[in-house]
Amino acid sequence: MNPTLVMASQNIESDVAALKKILDSFEESAGYQDGYVFDEKGEMAAGWWFVEIHIKPDLMDKIIEGRPLENRKTRDDTDILEIIQDSLKKKGSTARIRLYRQKPFLVSWWKWLLK
């Protein structure tokens, strides 16, 4: 299963717990179980932890078809990403979430840093 999301966090324990609660609520609203998996190990660079999250395509489809959180409409995975980011902010998290297929904003800087 390919990664779906990437989370960048400076407080990995609390941010992962908050994200798991959000994803659990997605599963509950979709009537789905075991729809996501976090990578066992994250990577650290420049004080940030990077963790990949794998979400099963079936769960993503069910979330898009339904109304996951706050009865917001979802047309695609970018809408789901916005809901997740907003929910994390409400929980006091400073974590950043992006879709795996999106190119990171500072990709050239990171490549230079990680050489």
In whole numbers, what is the pLDDT of the chain averaged over residues?
81
pLDDT single digits (tens) 66-99? 765 666 676 777 888 888 898 899 999 989 888 8
Instruction: Pick 5-113's CATH classification: 3.30.70, 2.40.10, 2.60.40, 3.90.550.
Output: 3.30.70
What confidence score (pLDDT) does residue 40 get? Answer: 80
Percentage of residues in the chain with pLDDT exceeding 70? 78
CA 47 to mean position of chain CA atoms:
19
Given a cut of 80, is residue 55 above it in pLDDT? yes
* C-beta of residue 107 within 8 angstroms of C-beta of residue 96: no
CA distance 27 to 33: 6
